[in-house]
């Protein structure tokens, strides 16, 4: 039987319904798990480790570090890892760990649920059974298992608050579809011959801005540029933003670049890729040194930036690594991007 380490970090899957909402109750969680899911022991030899109990909105880079280093430390002792995690920031943690544990030669499968496990109509049982089963497969990457799908961790994003189908990977096909049988895609990474590495340095010296038609550029001007080394702009569509009148973003971008701050352009649209070559606004940003995040999810763009900043790279090296593919998070680079 395969040996699986089940790492508990919290989230709705581990919460209980109380009169005033759902709450985290570490002690009751393990009771519920064993009472409700005795069949888990038929899938694998499972060891449970409680790493932390958090609503995932409180998970931050320090938790990524603890989790990444723990998985790395236990790598030789287990065939696979399942991480129970809240859905709100699951895609961030999965993306971060994909960069921290690169390469990895064991499956690291994140899962959670929309409804606590103790509830009768919960998605927790199905997600957990699927995740544990998938953790016995030769999947050598960090992935998210939700609602009968397995997604690459750094391609996944939470799309729904109220639907069991909470996650998608908009620009990359699922790694597996789970029906009567589990069908693995040919895209699944298999790195059996490589030794895994672990690098959990993430810098939080980033700032994220969402563009809108009345963006307050005076407020941007008040930002203290010594507090961040990368600015991530969630732009319109293919990477455009206002470049006229009061709302012109270009002076602020120039100011950031003059302070050697990386400027990264992502999109408010989930599907397809940013391309700064198409419209004059994008070309102006590119001219100032703005980098396209291609088709990366926001979660991947943020955690990749934090990971690269954590390595203290020269600007050119940062740029080429950011524009390149580190671990399956992007395939589209500026030269081949475009509207499909
Ligand atoms: N707030 C919860 C969390 O992210 C939501 C969930 O798990 O679905 O921890």
| Cβ(9) – ligand 1 distance below 6 Å | no
Tokens for 184, please give them: 């693995």
Q: Compute the distance from residue 10 Cα to the ligand 1 centre, in Å.
A: 8
| Cβ(88) – ligand 1 distance below 6 Å | yes
Structural element, H or E, at residue 21:
strand 21-24
| Cβ(11) – ligand 1 distance below 6 Å | yes
Active site residue: 12, 87, 89, 305, which one?
Answer: 12
Low-confidence ranges of the chain (pLDDT < 50): 336-340
Q: Say whether 12 is catalytic.
A: yes
* Residue position matching structure tokens 């890729």: 273
Structural element, H or E, at residue 75:
none
Question: Is residue 24 a contact partner of residue 10, using CB atoms and an 8 Å limit?
Answer: yes
Question: What is the C-alpha separation between 71 and 288, in angstroms, rounded?
Answer: 40
Question: What is the C-alpha separation between 131 and 112, in angstroms, rounded?
Answer: 9
DSSP 40-61: HHHH-EEEEEEEEEE-GGG--H
pLDDT in the model for residue 209: 98
Nearest atom of ligand 1 to the alpha carbon of 10:
9
Length of the chain in terms of residues written: 340
**Exposed/middle/buried for 123, CB within 10 Å: 0-12, 13-18, 19+?**
buried
pLDDT in the model for residue 88: 98
Q: Compute the distance from residue 63 Cα to the ligand 1 centre, in Å.
A: 15
Question: What is the C-alpha separation between 102 and 306, in angstroms, rounded?
Answer: 15
Question: Is residue 109 a contact partner of residue 152, using CB atoms and an 8 Å limit?
Answer: no
| Cβ(116) – ligand 1 distance below 6 Å | no
| Cβ(114) – ligand 1 distance below 6 Å | yes
Q: Compute the distance from residue 276 Cα to the ligand 1 centre, in Å.
A: 35
pLDDT tens digits for 235-269?
999 999 999 999 999 999 999 999 999 999 999 99
Q: Compute the distance from residue 151 Cα to the ligand 1 centre, in Å.
A: 18
Q: Compute the distance from residue 84 Cα to the ligand 1 centre, in Å.
A: 11
| Cβ(169) – ligand 1 distance below 6 Å | no
Cα-based distances in Å from 91 to 64, 142, 143, 222, 268:
12, 10, 9, 31, 17
Question: What is the C-alpha separation between 249 and 215, in angstroms, rounded?
Answer: 8
pLDDT tens digits for 273-332?
999 999 999 999 999 999 999 999 999 999 999 999 999 999 999 999 999 999 999 997
Please name every residue paired with 8 in a beta bridge, in sequence order, or none if there are none. Answer: 50, 84
pLDDT in the model for residue 335: 56
Question: What is the C-alpha separation between 136 and 108, in angstroms, rounded?
Answer: 10
- Sort strands 149-152 and 142-146 into parallel, antiparallel or unpaired: antiparallel
pLDDT in the model for residue 29: 77
| Cβ(234) – ligand 1 distance below 6 Å | no
Q: Which domains can be identified in the chain, with CATH numbers? A: 3-184 (3.40.50.1170), 206-323 (3.40.50.40)
Question: What is the C-alpha separation between 17 and 115, in angstroms, rounded?
Answer: 9
Other CB atoms within 10 Å distance of the CB of residue 50: 15
Question: Is residue 76 a contact partner of residue 300, using CB atoms and an 8 Å limit?
Answer: no
Question: What is the C-alpha separation between 67 and 8, in angstroms, rounded?
Answer: 10
């Amino acid at each position: 039987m395969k040996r699986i380490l089940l790492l508990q970090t919290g989230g709705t899957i581990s919460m209980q319904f109380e009169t005033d909402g759902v709450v985290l109750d570490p002690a009751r969680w393990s009771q519920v798990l064993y009472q409700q899911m005795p069949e888990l022991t038929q899938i694998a030899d499972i060891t449970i480790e409680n790493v932390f109990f958090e609503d995932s909105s409180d998970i931050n880079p320090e938790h990524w570090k603890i989790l990444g280093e723990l998985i790395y430390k236990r790598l030789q002792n287990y065939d696979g890892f399942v991480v129970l995690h809240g859905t709100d920031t699951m895609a961030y943690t999965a993306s971060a760990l994909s960069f921290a544990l690169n390469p990895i030669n064991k499956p690291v499968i994140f899962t959670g649920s929309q409804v606590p496990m103790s509830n009768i109509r919960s998605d927790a049982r199905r997600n957990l059974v699927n995740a544990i089963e998938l953790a016995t497969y030769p999947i050598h990457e960090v992935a998210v298992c939700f609602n009968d799908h397995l997604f690459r961790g750094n391609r996944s994003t939470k799309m729904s608050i109220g639907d069991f189908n909470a996650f998608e990977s908009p620009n990359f096909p699922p790694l597996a579809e789970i029906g009567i049988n589990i069908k693995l895609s040919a895209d699944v990474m298999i790195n059996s011959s490589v030794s895994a590495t672990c690098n959990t340095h993430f810098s939080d010296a980033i700032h994220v801005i969402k563009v809108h038609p009345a963006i307050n550029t005076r407020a941007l001007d008040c930002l203290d540029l010594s507090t961040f080394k990368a600015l991530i702009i969630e732009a319109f569509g293919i990477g455009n933003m206002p470049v006229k009148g009061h709302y012109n973003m270009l002076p602020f971008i120039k100011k950031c670049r003059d302070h050697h701050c990386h400027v990264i352009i992502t999109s408010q649209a989930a599907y397809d890729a940013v391309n700064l070559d198409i419209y004059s606004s994008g070309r102006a940003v590119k001219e100032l040194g703005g980098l396209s995040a291609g088709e990366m999810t926001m979660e991947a763009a943020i955690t990749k930036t934090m990971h690269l900043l954590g390595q203290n790279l020269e600007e050119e090296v940062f740029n080429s690594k950011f524009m390149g593919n580190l671990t399956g998070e992007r395939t589209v680079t500026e030269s081949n991007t475009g509207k499909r």
